[in-house]
A and B are shown apart, each in its own frame.
Chain A
Amino acid sequence: MAELLKVNNLSMHFRGLKAVQDFSASLAEHGIYGLIGTNGAGKTTVINMLSGVLKPTAGTIEFAGRDITAMRPDRIARLGILRTYQNLRLFRRMTALENVIIGAQMHHSYSDVDAVLTLPCFRVEEDEMRRVAREMLALMGIERYADERANSLPYGAQRKLEIARILAARPRLLLLDEPAAGMNPQESAELVEIIRRIRETFGLTILLIEHDMKVVMGLTEYIYVMATGQIIAEGKPDEVRKDQKVITAYLGRKRRDA
């Protein structure tokens, strides 16, 4: 399969702290990848760099053959890399639907003058955005919250809303930062199914950070394991599961693996 994302020796240093050191990875189109590791291992920092929120201290990121290392986050998003946040960053005063419309409007084509004059092309596209947004809410199984304020949704629904929001922005690569955090076992099993389905529907590539080993092992095809800023192991779920370094650094301590 064609390579979609290539990361070479990415490092992020915060003053003295080496949050990420020499992170290299290669994601093929249509794959689902896992990124796991202990608390503070540097997983979120990797996603921050891939989405342009943080500029790496060293290393390069190539997406679909383009160097995006120094690109602004909004341009990276327009290329199709979209992410969620571990600590949820919804537009809290807006309704669920409006949140998803922000995603849906990323590629809008009417001009501001069309909008001021309320031309037909503006109306048609606005209706289309609403339709897409509702569809994404339905896909995530949260359409009943469409007109409620984002911060009044149950926690699990807020997590799903973040995914609906980026799906509406026509992504190619999804970066999901602990999408099942705070969900009960039933909810996270549901989420696994939804993520599988959206990958098929949209032909997406997915990189996900997850603490819940059931989710990671059941869903991903290839896993990167980080500890203190570095990759300590990578491979298919079964290989990683047996890796001695991983067991001592992560699985052994957590004992969450089934």
Chain B
Amino acid sequence: MRLRDNHLFRLIIFVILPLIGLIVTSMNSGSYYSGLVHLFGINIILVASLNLVNGYSGMFSMGHAAFMAIGAYASAMLTLTADQKVFLMPALPDWLMHLTLPFPVTLLVAGVLASVTALLIGFPVLRFKGHYLSVATIGLIVIVRAVLDNEDQITNGARGVTGLPDYASTGIIFSVAILCLFVLYRLIHSSYGRGLIAMRDDWTAAQTLGVNLTTKKLSAFLISAFMAGMAGGLWGHMQSVISGKFFYIDTSFKIVETSIIGGMFSLSGAIVGSALMTFIPELLAPLETGITLFGVQLPELYGASNMILAAALILIIIFRRQGIMGYSEIITDSLFSRETYLSLFRPDQYSSLAKAIVTLPVRSWQSLKARWVGQKHKSL
């Protein structure tokens, strides 16, 4: 029995350990480390929702930064106090000026507005075949940026909006993330998702089997934008400062990059990609300021971490097209399966886990040997 097939093992690795990590994070809110974990959670929402469009339905959207921006400004508009808004958003109508809503509600509003925007640009574009969506979404980013920078009576222009309350707690960020993952997971494993995948693999065949391509493409795009809008709202309340320059093409590009590296055909890929792309740049950051490695003082390498990530992306595209996780759903399968949680009460799971751990060294040695011998046979 392989270790990874053991439900108890999955429970420990994918549920209990992460949960402990999150509890520790929430007790240290405000620390540098907790900021990173929060960013990780938001990235999961962004990348998983992007995968619905770019991975599962075979379109290519670059629009996530725009939807984030809309979500961030929308929710800020509803959490800031009237005193702040008079100063930052003087042109707001009276009813909006005095309206403040609970943070989760503002996230829903953020999602709805992002979706409406997606509908406005998706409807004209997605009725046609071909890859107009990527171009249209890049256009959207540029337009949103221009509006944010110039409507200074509502958005405070390029100066941005400051003083967003720090509502983005570990709890709410990861609740939203898990909820998004769950909804996406369930959708993908129903007739809706199978239809999407069929459309991606062969749209003609899908269409002659009753799949309405326009509805499928549009709905996937809207759902994805909704989640990106919520992520934007969370991001804004994590940073407490938002302005147009945070939501530009490079932001979208980073999300797309994360999606490709983790594996855009898998929700688990979104989680793995987000983890790597959140934490690795932080590990690389010291390179930029010059570090001492084995007693050697390295020079300051500005842009080193970006270059390393770009190189990683190119390597992935060349050697592992499908991304790190490929089509595997091991993490989400474990998270959303009853078996995982029930294993806690099943003695046989404990004994098989123990056995799998004890025999692990032997088995890995054997499989290594088998691979090595196999290789030798091939080369002979």
Contacts and interface: CB of A to CB of B under 8 A. Distances in A.
A76 B204 CA distance: 13
Interface in A60-90: 72-74, 76-78, 82-83, 85, 89-90
Given A77-B209, A77-B210, A112-B187, A105 B194 contact: yes
A39 B101 CA distance: 69
Given A89-B204, A112-B192, A74 B186 contact: no
Contact of B209 (A106, A112, A118, A122): A106
B191 A94 contact: no
B289 interface: no
Nearest to A83: B208
B205 A91 contact: yes
A105 B190 CA distance: 9
A92 B197 CA distance: 11
B212 A72 contact: yes
Contacts of B191: 105, 108, 110, 115, 129
Interface in B334-358: none
Given A105-B194, A105-B195, A116-B187, A74 B201 contact: no
A118 B182 CA distance: 11
Contacts of A92: 201-202
Contacts, number: 85
A82 B209 contact: yes
Nearest to A117: B186
Interface of B is mostly: helix
A77 B204 CA distance: 12
A25 interface: no
B211 A90 contact: no
A140 B187 CA distance: 30
A102 interface: yes
Contacts of B206: 91, 102
A51 B190 CA distance: 26
A101 interface: yes
A172 interface: no
Interface in B188-232: 189-192, 194-195, 197-198, 201-202, 204-213
B373 interface: no
Contact of A116 (B183, B195, B197): B183
Contacts of B186: 115-118
A76 B211 CA distance: 11
Interface in B174-190: 182-183, 186-187, 189-190
14 contacts: A73-B204, A73-B208, A74-B210, A76-B208, A77-B208, A77-B209, A90-B205, A91-B202, A93-B201, A101-B194, A115-B186, A116-B183, A117-B186, A126-B190
4 shortest A-B CB distances, which residue pairs?
A: A115-B190, A89-B205, A106-B210, A105-B191
